[in-house]
Chain A
């Protein structure tokens, strides 16, 4: 393998990391504020893919614009799901069995609804961008992955802005750090939780739309990515957005480069070995490592 091949692999890993980060951030927001592991995340990824697909097929709307439209649509959907179902779960500082069961059930319902509506065919979005590549010397950039990476970075930057510059963002961060203290300083927990759930689902829907630009999908879509999102948020430290970006990059680099020394069929094992290692060695994730260093300093 020459230098150009290695460079291709590095670029491939970075582009993959962008997608991984975008699909994991929604889960982190919801977990951070509500301490709920959103198992229905995969269902919303799948719905996001179909949403962008339908906009493209029926109205000719560019998938990238479809992803932008997915944000408000899935935000409202998330708020509705929260109002109808999630707010009825008893609140806790730890993930609870009822929340896991409820959201797992919701995932199954979404999956079966999708089977009823779209059937069992694999769908995919084919645009002139889908298969085009951009060459820089001997290095190849898949156009669609560049676009998806750009969209993922833009949405994550937007989220960072909202979290640091708005009242809602500060309320979210306060609840993530210490919910009791947040209540004392006047954060309205119920409303913040509802909006956070909406934002988390909005990111899931938009990430589903981005993934649909790269992969074919069916009602089962999302399960594989859900497992990867778990690895990323554990690596990232469950409640840290910077940690998510680093967790996504670590997973993408390990997956991409480990294939050079291991057979390709070990790829899924690599991701889950990483999860086990993170849980044993770094239970607080990368973010925990930083905060420990800061405390020591």
Chain B
């Protein structure tokens, strides 16, 4: 009996060894394939959890760029002497910070990718941003813009979103232009509700900066932070209501924007102007709130209304690729992020990560979708493209209302009750 058992164990040991060897050889083959015939690019985005929707749109933007690059034969890598296809190594971080950082680490080590794209939202981007320098692998965030990410002197990080303080500054500048045009009066009171993240802090700083440089235009009478993902904002809104401000500016994520605006209307509140930062024209918000989103304005990094030929082409390609039109700015910054990376790899002529990083520092996309049409990364790794301000109008219409040279419609101010 003991002998039979011993025999069984022996067979089991051999079987285990065989399976381990098989798995090892498969993993070696797959790594060889990634390094040999294809360029592996890591993509870490939230497609589940509270940031799922924007994460999904960003993924679609990246995949469209990869699809087009591969359709054109791939990226020419000089030291390989051939064009190579791009292979996406995708991970869903579930909108979880710890998971997000872990997956970037996994992509950079186990999957040995040339670069990683991703990091939607400040919180997830901040968590991921510590990995690139540790593993000397370029990382391009297509959805995070807080100064804390780009202010730490990291050498391998890049971002396709302009800084959030510029968003706040542009928002105040737009309101100032309405005063200059006589649509709003001087000296109006502003109430601020900011998300409790570095994004919120930067947004508030941008507004303060403009107001301090232009005295007499506006006065901030209320400023408070709130936690993202709250189920109830009625207490905060009641405080906002009690300060009797003329303008209400919140900096919120999509889910919070929908919840807060719903409770804003339910509380019977109304202001001359209303904004939720970079959120406003999203289709989900329109669906959830209908006409209650009319006249909300938003400062965004990109709009499908921009009057550039490449924007029109992108919108139609995106529609054909995904079956739906681009929703707000999300897919465009991701699409350009992937294209900038492809250009950097081609210029580097090698898959060496440091060489690709060096090229990212100098790369210029002259047919960029972003406002200004040129994408180049600044010394801290972040782009500096201007924002456009859009305003929701009745019948699901969205117009660019600022700056005037890109405007597709006139700003409606003060907004009707």
Bound: A2/B287 CA distance, A: 35
Shortest B386–chain A CB gap in Å is 29
Tell me the B245-294 residues at the A interface (CB within 8 Å).
254-255, 258-259, 262-263, 265-268, 284, 287-290, 292
Question: Do B288 and A216 touch (CB < 8 A)?
Answer: yes
Which of the residues B52, B193, B235 comes within 8 Å of A256, measured between beta carbons? B235
User: Cβ of A214: which chain B residues have Cβ within 8 Å of it?
Assistant: 262
Question: Do A267 and B235 touch (CB < 8 A)?
Answer: yes
Bound: A265/B49 CA distance, A: 21
In order of increasing CB-CB distance, the 8 nearest A-B pairs are A120-B52, A259-B235, A142-B266, A124-B288, A264-B236, A140-B268, A265-B196, A264-B226
B241 close to A (CB within 8 Å) = yes
Size category, B interface:
35 or more
A28 close to B (CB within 8 Å) = no
Question: Do B258 and A264 touch (CB < 8 A)?
Answer: no
A121 close to B (CB within 8 Å) = yes
Question: Do B288 and A126 touch (CB < 8 A)?
Answer: yes
B284 to A, closest residue via Cβ:
A122
Shortest B241–chain A CB gap in Å is 7
User: Cβ of B255: which chain A residues have Cβ within 8 Å of it?
Assistant: 122, 216, 218
User: Cβ of B235: which chain A residues have Cβ within 8 Å of it?
Assistant: 9, 12, 255-260, 264, 267
Bound: A131/B288 CA distance, A: 11
Which of the residues A1, A121, A135, A257 comes within 8 Å of B53, measured between beta carbons? A121
Contact with B along A198-231 (1 / 0, CB 8 A): 0000000000000000111011100011000000
User: Cβ of A130: which chain B residues have Cβ within 8 Å of it?
Assistant: 262
User: Cβ of A219: which chain B residues have Cβ within 8 Å of it?
Assistant: 48
Given A264-B239, A267-B235, does the pair A131, B226 have CB atoms closer than 8 Å? no
User: Cβ of B52: which chain A residues have Cβ within 8 Å of it?
Assistant: 120-121, 218
Question: Do A224 and B231 touch (CB < 8 A)?
Answer: yes
Shortest A260–chain B CB gap in Å is 7
Which of the residues B49, B56, B258 comes within 8 Å of A124, measured between beta carbons? B258
B238 close to A (CB within 8 Å) = yes
User: Cβ of A5: which chain B residues have Cβ within 8 Å of it?
Assistant: 238, 241-242
Shortest A120–chain B CB gap in Å is 3
Question: Do A131 and B289 touch (CB < 8 A)?
Answer: yes
A263 close to B (CB within 8 Å) = yes
User: Cβ of B225: which chain A residues have Cβ within 8 Å of it?
Assistant: 263-265
A38 close to B (CB within 8 Å) = no
B-to-A contact residues, CB < 8 Å: 47-50, 52-53, 56, 193, 196, 224-227, 229-236, 238-239, 241-242, 254-255, 258-259, 262-263, 265-268, 284, 287-290, 292
B240 to A, closest residue via Cβ:
A264
User: Cβ of B242: which chain A residues have Cβ within 8 Å of it?
Assistant: 1-2, 5
Question: Do A263 and B224 touch (CB < 8 A)?
Answer: yes
Size category, A interface:
35 or more
Which of the residues B53, B193, B238, B263 comes within 8 Å of A8, measured between beta carbons? B238
User: Cβ of A101: which chain B residues have Cβ within 8 Å of it?
Assistant: none
User: Cβ of A12: which chain B residues have Cβ within 8 Å of it?
Assistant: 234-235, 238
Other A-B contacts than A1-B242, A131-B289, A264-B236, 9 sampled, CB-CB below 8 A, are A126-B288, A131-B262, A140-B268, A142-B266, A216-B255, A255-B235, A263-B224, A264-B239, A265-B225
Which of the residues A131, A143, A216, A264 comes within 8 Å of B227, measured between beta carbons? A264
User: Cβ of A258: which chain B residues have Cβ within 8 Å of it?
Assistant: 235
User: Cβ of A256: which chain B residues have Cβ within 8 Å of it?
Assistant: 234-235, 238
Question: Do B266 and A145 touch (CB < 8 A)?
Answer: yes
A144 close to B (CB within 8 Å) = yes
User: Cβ of A260: which chain B residues have Cβ within 8 Å of it?
Assistant: 235, 239
Given A12-B234, A142-B266, A216-B288, does the pair A224, B259 have CB atoms closer than 8 Å? no
Question: Do B48 and A142 touch (CB < 8 A)?
Answer: no
Shortest A254–chain B CB gap in Å is 11
Which of the residues B224, B229, B233, B234 comes within 8 Å of A224, measured between beta carbons? B229
Shortest A150–chain B CB gap in Å is 16
Question: Do B236 and A121 touch (CB < 8 A)?
Answer: no
Given A145-B266, A255-B232, A265-B227, does the pair A122, B238 have CB atoms closer than 8 Å? no
A142 to B, closest residue via Cβ:
B266
A121 to B, closest residue via Cβ:
B53
A133 close to B (CB within 8 Å) = yes
User: Cβ of B227: which chain A residues have Cβ within 8 Å of it?
Assistant: 264-265, 267-268
A115 close to B (CB within 8 Å) = yes
B94 to A, closest residue via Cβ:
A220
A16 close to B (CB within 8 Å) = yes
Give 8 CB contacts A-B under 8 Å: A8-B241, A130-B262, A133-B266, A215-B262, A258-B235, A259-B239, A264-B236, A267-B226
User: Cβ of A9: which chain B residues have Cβ within 8 Å of it?
Assistant: 235, 238
Tell me the A142-180 residues at the B interface (CB within 8 Å).
142-145
Contact with B along A234-264 (1 / 0, CB 8 A): 0000000000000000000001111110011
B264 to A, closest residue via Cβ:
A131
User: Cβ of A135: which chain B residues have Cβ within 8 Å of it?
Assistant: 268
Interface centre among A130, A133, A265, by most B CB within 10 Å? A265
Bound: A237/B19 CA distance, A: 55
Bound: A264/B229 CA distance, A: 12
Question: Do A133 and B258 touch (CB < 8 A)?
Answer: no
Question: Do B50 and A218 touch (CB < 8 A)?
Answer: yes
Given A12-B234, A120-B56, A121-B284, does the pair A264, B266 have CB atoms closer than 8 Å? no
Interface centre among A214, A218, A264, A267, by most B CB within 10 Å? A264
User: Cβ of A140: which chain B residues have Cβ within 8 Å of it?
Assistant: 266-268
User: Cβ of B48: which chain A residues have Cβ within 8 Å of it?
Assistant: 115, 120, 219-220
Which of the residues A126, A145, A268 comes within 8 Å of B289, measured between beta carbons? A126
Question: Do B292 and A131 touch (CB < 8 A)?
Answer: yes
Shortest B395–chain A CB gap in Å is 16
B232 to A, closest residue via Cβ:
A16
Bound: A220/B46 CA distance, A: 13
Bound: A225/B53 CA distance, A: 22
Question: Do A122 and B258 touch (CB < 8 A)?
Answer: yes
B282 to A, closest residue via Cβ:
A122
Question: Do A131 and B47 touch (CB < 8 A)?
Answer: no
Shortest A69–chain B CB gap in Å is 23
Question: Do A267 and B238 touch (CB < 8 A)?
Answer: no
Question: Do B268 and A133 touch (CB < 8 A)?
Answer: yes
B49 to A, closest residue via Cβ:
A220
Bound: A135/B238 CA distance, A: 15
Bound: A259/B239 CA distance, A: 8
Question: Do B267 and A142 touch (CB < 8 A)?
Answer: yes
User: Cβ of A257: which chain B residues have Cβ within 8 Å of it?
Assistant: 235
